[in-house]
Structure 1
Amino acid sequence: MMDTVYRSLLTYAYNIIGSYADAHDVVQDVIEKYIGLDKSKVENEVNYLIKSVINHSINFKNRSKKFSKYGVWLPEPVTTESADTPLIKEQVANYSLLVLFEGLNPKERAVFILKEGFDYKHSEIAQVLEISVENSRQLFVRAKKKLKNQNFKKELPSKGNLSPYIDALMNADTNKLESLFTDDIRLMADGGDTIKVVTRITDGKQHTAELLQYVYAMFLDGKEYTVTTVNHQPAIWFKTNNRIMSCMIFNFDENQKVNTIYSMVAPEKLKNMEYGKMMGQGKDLTNLLKQFGQNLN
């Protein structure tokens, strides 16, 4: 039970914050406080923990600043290739949606996630966030309106086939590459604080194809690559010295053409991509989780 509760808490926090590393820290902080808590007045300990994590995540998001020295700030991606992950895979938001969530304020984001992602009723959301039912409804309506203005679609993105894309990229076939894109394709790159990338969003077939060909020829040619699934969307990892150096995440339209590419090269956001390297395996947390399990009825 303890492991399931921990994974659930981590998933709530990740969806609200958009960073696995920060979600990990928030959950660890909540667990530490829970262990030292007088639980005689806590009726439902799991619900108490969920409520604490959600509200801590909202507060963290309110305090944190989105900043990327190089490129566009993007959420930290996580693998959803297999069920063997610290997160509950089925409840992890898809990557395109996480990007859109950044247009919401933290409370709107939390309400939308709880309603759409976890099937909460407005009465339950009101209890968790300590707001009125009417306020919950208003926040949800505002969130939906903002997301609609950003072309939000509730359905999971199409899986798509990356083989033609990889072939065109490796063979420097710009015309073929352009044929796989929608006319209004966009490429966003996040280099974090250390990796220099284009500082603005790249729009259009020609500019996107030319930029991708340049990046591949200069930095990725000959590197080991893996086609995988990241936040429920098709993606490619490029590795060097057994370390992920680049992750491209793709969004396909209904005609199986690529309309958005998210390029993550920020080292601090790639270090947790593979399960074996994901945070939460350290000795301190292992001991903390043992205490957590002993305190959880």
Structure 2
Amino acid sequence: MEKHYNKLLTYAYNIVGSYEDAKDLVQDVLEKYITMDKSSIRHESNFLIKSTINHAINFKTRQSKKEVFGEWLPEPVSFDNADAKLIRDETASYTMLVLFEYLNPKERAAFILKEGFNYSHAEIAELLDINTENSRQLLSRANKQLKDSKYSSYSPHLGHSFETVGRYQKALAQADIVELQNLLVDDIKLSADGGTKVQVLSGSEIGKTATATLLVYVQQHFLMGKTFTFQFFNHQPAACFWEHEKLHNCHILQLSEDGLIQEIYSIVDPDKLKNITKLSHI
């Protein structure tokens, strides 16, 4: 079963957006598979993938209305953590996981299978128990929802990321609202997720002045004295704020090609941060 685990976990995580929940879902699938009659199963891998995807879809459907402080954001994953079991190249970027929240679970699964894993519509139809025309319709609806995104494919150069995040952290520490505004696009959007335990702003903050002002307020009231590190989560740069060895808050950034910050995802939910460790080389 171990040979299947990482791939199944990657499928589940891309669909549900939670590493902890993905692990539980895959564990459920594998435990049931071990005890079942396998005489009619022709292809073990396909069976496990189908079971995992459908289990993840059902879970996501049940969890879609979960109440949190702020805006629900995916659980970030660091590929540098020793216990990370996701397949790096097959794991969606953080921004894509956020955009997936605009899709229903089946649209999300169809898009991931087609665009992320290069499945044919016939293969998607078999996995989702639908016909090929339904698969095409799901993909078409997903693409229509995502096509207007300005964040689709750009991955910033490592040096670009270090420079921007360094300037961002320095501007925060110095409460320099003007410099922060210089780093943000005009329609910058800041979203925060406090989970069920930490109260944060409701909805999202949009616009350079409002976002820069809010960031400085948060820095002065909640992040002052915290240790800072630069890390990557889900292929994207992040500013991390630590209280001793415990991650208190991380700002995952979506950067434009010219190094400006297009979107800030602020995760404060302790349940989503508890498995992230500080890298020794930073």
Selected match of 1:221 from 224, 249, 258: 224
Q: Structure 1's 69 and 153: CA in aligned 2 closer, same or farther, altered over 3 A?
A: closer
- In structure 2, runs of 5+ residues without a counterpart are none
- What is the Cα deviation at residue 192 of structure 1? 1.0
**Which residue is 1:285 aligned to?**
none
- What is the Cα deviation at residue 219 of structure 1? 1.4
- What is the Cα deviation at residue 145 of structure 1? 0.2
Percentage of matched positions with identical amino acids:
51
Q: Structure 1's 154 and 213: CA in aligned 2 closer, same or farther, altered over 3 A?
A: closer
- Three-state SS of the structure 1 residue aligned to 2:119 is coil
Of the structure 1 ranges 28-37 and 165-174, higher mean CA displacement relative to structure 2 is found in 165-174
Give every structure 1 segment of 4 or more consecutive aligned residues whose post-TM-superposition deviation is greater than 2 Å.
65-69, 80-84, 156-161, 272-276
Per-residue Cα deviation, 1:14-37 (whole angstroms, up to 9, x for no partner)? 000111111111101101100101
- 8 Å Cα contact 2:110/2:138 also seen in 1: yes
How many aligned positions are there? 274
- What is the Cα deviation at residue 221 of structure 1? 1.7
- What is the Cα deviation at residue 214 of structure 1? 1.0
Per-residue Cα deviation, 1:119-159 (whole angstroms, up to 9, x for no partner)? 1111111111111111111110110001124x155414435
- 8 Å Cα contact 2:247/2:274 also seen in 1: yes
Question: Which has the bigger relative contact order, CA under 8 A and spacing at least 6?
Answer: 1
Whole-Å Cα distance in 2 between the matches of residues 209 and 106 of structure 1? 34
Whole-Å Cα distance in 1 between the matches of residues 84 and 154 of structure 2? 20
- Three-state SS of the structure 1 residue aligned to 2:254 is strand
Whole-Å Cα distance in 1 between the matches of residues 237 and 103 of structure 2? 25
Aligned AA (2:127): V
Root-mean-square deviation over aligned CA pairs = 1.8
- 8 Å Cα contact 2:251/2:265 also seen in 1: yes
- 8 Å Cα contact 2:90/2:116 also seen in 1: yes
Aligned 1:19-168 pairs, distance under 5 A: 19-81=18-80, 85-149=84-148, 151=149, 153-159=151-157, 160=161, 161-168=164-171
- Three-state SS of the structure 2 residue aligned to 1:222 is coil
TM-score using structure 1 length: 0.88
Whole-Å Cα distance in 2 between the matches of residues 38 and 245 of structure 1? 47
- What is the Cα deviation at residue 186 of structure 1? 0.6
- In structure 1, runs of 5+ residues without a counterpart are 277-297
**Which residue is 1:11 aligned to?**
10
Of the structure 1 ranges 2-11 and 157-166, higher mean CA displacement relative to structure 2 is found in 157-166
Whole-Å Cα distance in 1 between the matches of residues 65 and 245 of structure 2? 29
Aligned AA (1:171): Q
